[in-house]
Amino acid sequence: MPPRKTETIRWRRIADAADPGKIRALVQASGVFSAEEVRIAGELAATTVDGSETYRFLFAERGGELLGYTCFDRIPLSKVSFDIYWIAVAPSERETGLAAELISRTAAFIKSKRGTQVYAEASSKESSAAARAFYLKSGFKEAARFEDFYEPGDSKIIYRLML
């Protein structure tokens, strides 16, 4: 039986052994990421769980189901700047405010670690239009654009949120 929507969202920060698989399933279900991106999203959690690398996470769960997450960390050699590597929410959670809550809680945590700015990137492809609109709606501003970065006609757009 699927969990009821009335159940409270559980927030957690520590990645566990089940998270790489849950993340891959969530990212794949979103329908906007390539197979390589799905693999990499899971890898970041796997390397954190096994200790070979470390990334920070914020997980939103209900009844044991992963509803959404962010993966982020301080940018190496910076004392105040953080990257958001991933944000994803389950298709069933779109338009519920969960993504905005994930960004808000992630930004608050970053600020508590003396972060003053958060960076995120998106592709210029049409399939990333919703992500670009989300960042702008969340208070991010376009900070840089690298034309033909991923492939001809697909630019890398970097957004910055000042805290």
Residue 90 bridge partners (DSSP):
none
In this structure, is residue 145 part of a structural domain? no
In this structure, is residue 158 part of a structural domain? no
pLDDT at position 6: 54
Instruction: State the pTM of this model.
Output: 0.92
Instruction: Yes or no: say if 61 and 69 are a contact pair by the CB < 8 Å rule.
Output: no
> Average pLDDT over the chain, rounded to whole?
94
The Cα 89–Cα 47 span in angstroms is 21
pLDDT at position 5: 55
pLDDT in tens, 3-54: 445 579 999 999 999 999 999 999 999 988 999 999 999 999 999 999 999 9
Residue 100: CB atoms within 10 Å: 14
Instruction: Yes or no: say if 42 and 20 are a contact pair by the CB < 8 Å rule.
Output: yes
In this structure, is residue 45 part of a structural domain? yes
CATH (domain of 111): 3.40.630.30
The rounded percent of the chain whose pLDDT value lies above 70 is: 96
